Amino acid sequence: MKPFEFLEHTADVKFRAFGLTPEEMLGNAALAMFNAMIDTSKVREERVWEVDLSGPDLEQLAYSWLSELVYLFDVEVAVFSRFEVHLVQSESEWKLHARIFGEEIDGRRHAFECQVKAVTLHQFEVSHNDHWTMQTILDV
């Protein structure tokens, strides 16, 4: 199974991310988002960031996850290329702990195709059949 695919959209970036587990799907969604901006194969794993989030359901948590990564991209002036995501589900919420690997932006090595400004809720969807799928549109 491919990790993600980009879909046609007139002005913004639309993609679907896939995974055998919800953790794999969330990691692949993060990878898709950064690949929309930059060639992540050129991002070095020089630093590790940790993220802890929670949400009432997986869809809300997935939205918060990508939004948090946009925030870190802006505030830390950093790009990321690998995501270790761990989830815990209880009766009332989902909890996420992630380790994010990347580096500060280096203008000599990082050529940006676009810059993600926000994750939108328009057509945002998480589904599960024989695998997990997440679809979203990124405001660029």
Helices 58-76 and 22-37 cross at an angle (nearest 10°) of: 40
What pLDDT band is residue 10 in, cutting at 50, 70 and 90?
Answer: confident
Provide the pLDDT for residue 11. 85
Provide the pLDDT for residue 9. 83
Please state the domain count of the chain.
1
Neighbours of 106 (CB within 10 A): 12
Cα-only R_g, the chain:
14
Q: Which residues constitute the domain of residue 59?
A: 4-139
Output the pTM of the full model.
0.96
- What is the average per-residue pLDDT within 57-83? 98
CATH number of the domain that residue 127 is part of: 3.55.10.10
